[in-house]
Chain A
Amino acid sequence: MYELVEAIIYYVGIVMVILGGILDLIASIGMNRFKNFYLRLHAATIGSIGGGFYPLIGIGLVVLTIHSLGTMKYYVAGIAFTTAFFLLITAPTGSHALAQGAHRAKIVLPEPAVVNRLLEDEEKVEGGE
């Protein structure tokens, strides 16, 4: 029973690592196919969450089932899990800063765009003053 659970954890981890590699490849293709800065941010999110967070969790799970490492496996798994946690809460901070900076500096406009409520509201504020 215990070995079965261990095998399941091992294969779940392996699948997560392989899936992460595929998602990284797809994200880099998306980076090339999307032609605008804001659209590329979405491809970058796939790279950081699907291609960064999930493989780290997968590595942690795989390492926990390899007994030949001795107590070393807890070090590797602990670092993998904490890195994944910090990646999850700090990756959006960079995206927020990039998007807000690009919009405030008016270097790139989100084109093509169906609606741009932010520009509408900024113009309203400037017109009111």
Chain B
Amino acid sequence: MNKALAVLGLIIPLTLLYIIYTGSYSLFELLLGVIVAIIVGYLFADAVVKHPGKIYNPIRWFWLLIYGLYYLTIIEAKAHWGVIKLIINPKKMNPGIVRIPYYVKTDYAAVTIANSITNTPGTVVVDIDEKNKKMYVHWIKIIDTTDEGARKHVSETFEKYASKIFD
């Protein structure tokens, strides 16, 4: 039962992705998309999905939508503007590697935080210590060198949304 739910939870997004990618909804494309999605979903369900109930939770999808919109407009725009200012005037920068702890439980949430940090210009994750739950982040303009202070400036927003979506 658990496995069937997990496979179904993969089939729906995979088919949707295929339909968007091909841009046509003829019977042939639909059938091909569904068949390939069933095969892929069956093969990868064990590795990719651990708690199938989370896929069917609309609140998580709602937070994912809110986070996607907020991240792609406001956060990205601010980060781009910060680095563009530094490119115009490189003397103002203050680079270094800071240590940032994270408190989420699942791997998906940790990956979301790391990808969000790297995708904003100005911060790049250099290394991750999974045992002690710490990320080492190269930050181009350091404001705070302490662990908690750096977390407040770099990853607190990402972590708030990631724990709502994946934990």
Contacts and interface: CB of A to CB of B under 8 A. Distances in A.
Same complex for A and B? Answer yes
Interface of A: 23, 26, 29-30, 33-34, 36, 38-39, 41-43, 45-46, 49-50, 71, 74-79, 81-82, 88-89, 91-93, 95-96, 99-100, 103-104, 110, 112-119, 121
Interface in B108-142: 114-115, 118-127, 129, 136, 138, 140, 142
Contacts of A78: 20-23
B124 A82 contact: no
Majority SS at the chain B contact face: mixed
Contact of B127 (A36, A42, A50, A118): A118
Nearest to A22: B84
Contacts of A99: 124-127, 138
Contact of A113 (B90, B97, B125): B97
Nearest to A100: B127
Given A39-B140, A42-B83, A118-B136, A92 B97 contact: no
A115 B20 contact: no
26 contacts: A29-B87, A34-B87, A36-B95, A38-B126, A41-B138, A42-B124, A45-B83, A45-B118, A46-B84, A50-B121, A74-B24, A75-B23, A76-B23, A77-B23, A78-B20, A81-B20, A89-B115, A92-B115, A96-B124, A99-B126, A99-B127, A110-B138, A112-B95, A113-B96, A115-B97, A115-B98
B38 to A, nearest CB: 20
A112 B120 CA distance: 21
A81 to B, nearest CB: 6
Interface residues of B, number: 38
Contacts, number: 126
Nearest to B76: A49
Nearest to A91: B119
A45 to B, nearest CB: 4
